[in-house]
């Protein structure tokens, strides 16, 4: 079994999820940053493809989405998994996942995941800080801009379950309630 993981990440959260998945998956795994390494990607010999990216103002990285659109035919012949990282939870996150990838591919996915985020306010580029300040009321972002610590909603259990599904394990439905508040690291 060979799996190719394609990710797009600005501050490293989606990259970390891709690397965590790579460790949990059985068989050979190749991981590519789709923005900078798309030329190296060869789908012809893989059985599974996982695409994962972070959400910025409601959208995943354009290069990742475009790749999925342009390669939809080839992708649809593989076992597929899709994930997003972001602050949103619940219904909004479900909408973001649906917007991120083509419907046709999502509907045949073996696994989908909404993994959460790690926010490190101190590391944000000036432009991103400005955007957050502009939209923080709508997105309830104040808690991420105050205080010194990092905030994490990243859910390792969801990553493990996603990997187990891609590995073909049958899982009981999770009974754990969704985390409502981010934890301070």
Ligand X SMILES: Cc1cc2nc3c(=O)[nH]c(=O)nc-3n(C[C@H](O)[C@H](O)[C@H](O)COP(=O)(O)O)c2cc1C
- Which positions touch ligand X (CB under 6 A)? 9-14, 54-58, 85-88, 96, 117, 119, 124, 128, 131-132
**Nearest approach, Cβ of residue 54 and ligand X (Å):** 3
Nearest Cα to Cα of residue 4 among 63, 73, 52, 72 = 52
* Residue (42 or 66) nearer to ligand X, CB: 66
Tokens read off for 101: 């990838």
**Nearest approach, Cβ of residue 85 and ligand X (Å):** 4
- Could you identify the residue written with the tokens 């969704």? 178
Which residue in the shown chain puts its C-beta closest to ligand X?
Answer: 86
**Nearest approach, Cβ of residue 16 and ligand X (Å):** 8
**Nearest approach, Cβ of residue 3 and ligand X (Å):** 20
d(Cα 171, Cα 138) in Å, to the nearest integer? 36
Largest CA distance in the chain: 48
End-to-end CA distance of the chain: 36
* Residue (145 or 171) nearer to ligand X, CB: 145
* Residue (19 or 167) nearer to ligand X, CB: 19
* Residue (80 or 87) nearer to ligand X, CB: 87
Residue 8 backbone phi and psi in degrees, to 5: -135, 130
Q: How many residues does the chain have?
A: 185
């Amino acid at each position: 079994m060979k799996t190719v993981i394609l990710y797009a990440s600005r501050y490293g959260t989606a990259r970390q999820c891709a690397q965590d998945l790579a460790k949990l998956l059985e068989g050979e795994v190749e991981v590519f940053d789709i923005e900078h390494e798309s030329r190296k990607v060869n789908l012809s010999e893989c059985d599974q493809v996982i695409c994962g990216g972070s959400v910025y103002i409601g959208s995943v990285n354009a290069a990742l989405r475009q790749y999925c659109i342009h390669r939809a035919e080839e992708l649809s012949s593989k076992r597929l998994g899709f994930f997003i990282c972001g602050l949103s939870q619940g219904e909004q996150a479900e909408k973001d996942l649906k917007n991120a990838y083509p419907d046709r591919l999502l509907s045949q996915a073996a696994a989908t995941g909404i993994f959460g985020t790690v926010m490190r306010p101190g590391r944000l580029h000036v432009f991103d800080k400005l955007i957050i300040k502009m939209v923080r009321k709508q997105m309830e972002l104040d808690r991420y801009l105050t205080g010194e610590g990092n905030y994490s909603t990243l859910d390792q259990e969801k990553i493990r379950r996603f990997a187990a599904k891609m590995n073909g394990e049958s899982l009981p439905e999770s009974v754990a309630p969704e985390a409502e508040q981010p934890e301070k690291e």
